[in-house]
A and B are shown apart, each in its own frame.
Chain A
């Protein structure tokens, strides 16, 4: 007890401070957003009854739903394809180790980050205004928005490619394209496929709501039935969407598992 070396001073542990700050901020937000717990309690008490109204789905219009669903998936496929093409072209310039110069790097990064920042629904609104209703503006909007993500993911993977492999292709006199094609893409093929599947998954989810702004797909039908309080048809639509998205979720998880 007496000859024990005293402990060095305990370093200050900031966790409680952060935690209380966090809770304080949350409380301020709740006050500012005017979230009334009464309304919430009220709503939650009713919510059982409310969801009960969806208990009797009406599938009489199923063939129309399936058609809309096919359109939704088609929109997502083309959106993903557009994104893939753009990302494929831009990502090598947005990867620090493969870019052609600091200016090309900056420009590619800025383009990608701009595309990411524009919400796809806003883009869809704009494209619908410019080219009329239909799924085409929808897939274009998805393409632009997710190209920003895909390009960023690809660029980050490319930056992790073994520098030695890149150097080897440079050392045989390979130009920029050849370095990208022979050292870049083959090294990240698997990761890139995984990201593409992930974006495809996300685009199907998003395409299901693009209809809200007139960009095709099943979303508009759901919006209409909900607005007209047709709970039976809404329930059927939700069931169809849910089944599809769950199927896609499993499919892409399974495919990504196979890639590893």
Chain B
């Protein structure tokens, strides 16, 4: 529903660390893009540029042609859902209320303070919970759920936003392989049925190959690969997971052997 334009985006943190060194990418509306890269490559930073949780020090990011600026932050975030590795649900609130958090952009000041919601918003949240198959847990406290269930609540929260883009930062990193598969299928299905643009950070090469339309490989703040999953071979994987200053990387070799 919305394309993402990342134009010469650079990010230098307050401590001088150069996390992104000029990233260019044009992400098509309704596509499923996976970002791969070693720890510290800047994947999370890249994702967080898209909904303005970080601001680029150079270049810019645009959503459906409109640049993300501090001025339109709330509208942008209202349009962009985010799914987190550690789910980031509010433990003490019910599953329903957690999903309703996705509707906060429509709520007034007083309504927010009194925890009051519109019936339409309740319907949207109900529908989102239905999509992730957790309606029967609606009134349960969020911290009583298993990890996989909590992640599905996180996805329902993003869906309740009626977003144009969903960003998922390692959504399956804390889950077992079977649950991971479930969550990835759910995300893929959301992309296909609702036409929502998905940008997903992953550490699992096999999942990336099976679910992505396109893979972006990031290493030390640079894009080192950008193409279809089929193009991802041993050499490109080696360049993505290459470690600075290590000439003969035995760990990398043994990982690639099983990739």
Contacts and interface: CB of A to CB of B under 8 A. Distances in A.
The short answer to whether A and B are in direct contact, CB under 8 Å, is: yes
Interface of A: 162, 164-165, 167-175, 177-178, 181-183, 186-187, 189
B81 A172 contact: yes
B75 A173 contact: yes
When A and B form their complex, which 8 residue pairs have the shortest distance between CB atoms, in order from nearest? A173-B77, A173-B78, A168-B88, A164-B88, A171-B82, A173-B105, A186-B92, A173-B74
Contact of A168 (B76, B89, B92, B97): B89
Given A164-B88, A167-B53, A171-B77, 16 more contacts: A165-B89, A165-B91, A167-B88, A168-B82, A168-B88, A169-B104, A170-B77, A171-B82, A173-B73, A173-B77, A174-B104, A186-B90, A186-B92, A187-B90, A187-B91, A189-B92
Contacts, number: 76
Interface stretch (B58-66, B108-116, B128-136): B108-116
A181 B113 contact: yes
A168 B85 CA distance: 11
A177 B113 CA distance: 7
Interface centre among B86, B88, B154 (most CB of A within 10 A): B88
A172 B101 contact: yes
B107 interface: yes
Interface residue tally on B, bucketed by range: 20 to 34
Nearest to B76: A173
Contacts of B104: 169, 172-174, 178, 182
Interface of A is mostly: helix
Contacts of B157: 168, 172
A171 B91 contact: no
Contacts of A173: 73-78, 104-105, 161
Contacts of A189: 92
Contacts of A168: 82, 84, 88-89, 101, 154, 157
B90 A182 contact: yes
Interface of B: 51, 53, 73-78, 80-82, 84, 86, 88-93, 97, 101-102, 104-105, 107, 109, 112-113, 115, 154, 157, 161
Contacts of A175: 74
A187 B92 contact: yes
B18 to A, nearest CB: 23
B47 to A, nearest CB: 10
7 contacts: A168-B84, A168-B88, A168-B154, A168-B157, A169-B104, A173-B76, A183-B90
Contact of B101 (A164, A174, A177, A187): A174
Contacts of A178: 104, 107, 112
A177 B112 contact: yes
A169 to B, nearest CB: 6
B85 to A, nearest CB: 9
A232 B93 CA distance: 55
Nearest to A162: B88
Contacts of A171: 51, 53, 77, 80-82
Nearest to B85: A164
Contacts of B74: 173, 175
Contact of A172 (B78, B91, B93, B109): B78
Contacts of A172: 77-78, 81-82, 101-102, 104-105, 157, 161
Contacts of B84: 164, 167-168
Contacts of A167: 53, 84, 88
Contacts of B51: 171
Given A164-B86, A183-B90, A169 B109 contact: no
